[in-house]
Amino acid sequence: MTYLTAALWVVFAAALFGLQPIYGLMLKDSAIDVNGMMLIRFAVPTLAALVWVGLTRPSLQPWACAQHALMGVAFALTGIGYYQAGYQIGFSLAVLLFYSFPLIVTVYTALCLRATLRPVQIGSVVVATAGLVLAIDVGDVQASAIGIAWALLAAACYAFILTFKSHYAPPLAESASLLMLTGGATATVLVIGMSSGWTLPSTLYEWQWSLALALFAGLVPIALIMLASPVTGATDSATYCLIEPVVAIAVAVGFMGEPFSVRTLLGGTLTLIAVTVLVRTRHRARPVDQSALVQ
């Protein structure tokens, strides 16, 4: 595979992730709820990963598998938080707040891991924070507080996945790691559904869009990124993945008709520029395992 082909695959995968607001719109007024959507979204890749593990038969150390499954808990909360936020504050703002995760990772690295930040990283943290504050242009912040909290929870959980994968998780074969990640997410949604309930699709239309979500915002982009990232490298892959918020915002505003003020546009632009710098400097300093780049 050439570098250009691999790069196009990563960009295409990021664009597929960016189309998630469409699935949210199509299923918004249906019987299925967010828990049901996420259960299907994670269960389909879990089945595919199970087949992959069956074919490759990697070593499955129980303690290592348990720690990788812990990331699945965060993976489930990331998906639930993203869609809950999208329904409450709009997907355009939700995706901007979600992309504060590199900021969270950088701050954690500096405060808890005692890493020394370069001036460009400190400046990016300040700019990203200012951009996020500027982007939250809502008429009634109190009414939107829960939605904002959901988006920030999704960002924090994804930051946990990246940090845990980079610094704490024991080595595990990619197929086994993916199985633990998606399987842990599926189990987490099941547990959450047992306490708060979940609703599965009840019509062919709902099943079609739910399975499309699982395939085109789950299995296909995950597979593309895992295949292409070893060729492009972690730094470039992470940078190409920043096409996702651009696509998501374009879909939310252009296709779904969500309002998008000049203030939010300015704040979002500042945030994405700062995040791009943080992603590139962070991955150059300590590359993340490629399977941790999926969202």
User: How far is residue 243's CA from residue 229's CA, in Å, rounded to a whole number?
Assistant: 15
Comparison of pLDDT for 58 and 162, the residue scoring more: 58
Give pLDDT, residue 267.
79
Q: What's the rounded Cα separation, in Å, for the pair 208 and 27? A: 10
pTM of the model: 0.85
Q: Predicted confidence band at 143 (pLDDT cuts at 50, 70, 90)?
A: very low
The mean pLDDT value for 62-75 works out to 92
What is the average pLDDT score of the chain?
83
Give 57's contacts (C-beta < 8 A, 6+ positions apart).
Answer: none
- The Cα 37–Cα 215 span in angstroms is 12
pLDDT of 94 > 80? The answer is yes
Structural domain span for residue 235:
3-293
- pLDDT at 288 exceeding the cut of 60: no
Report yes or no: 11 and 240 within 8 Å, Cβ to Cβ: yes
Highest mean pLDDT among 118-132, 134-148, 180-194: 180-194
Q: 194-233, pLDDT tens digit by residue?
A: 888 888 898 999 999 999 999 998 888 888 887 787 787 7
Examine the pLDDT at 55 and tell me if it is beyond 50. yes
Cα gap 245→32, rounded to integer Å: 25
Please state which of the ranges 96-105, 119-128, 275-284 shows the lowest mean pLDDT: 275-284
Best mean pLDDT range from 58-67, 130-139, 231-240: 58-67
pLDDT of residue 156: 92
3-state secondary structure of 222: helix
User: In total, how many domains does the chain have?
Assistant: 1
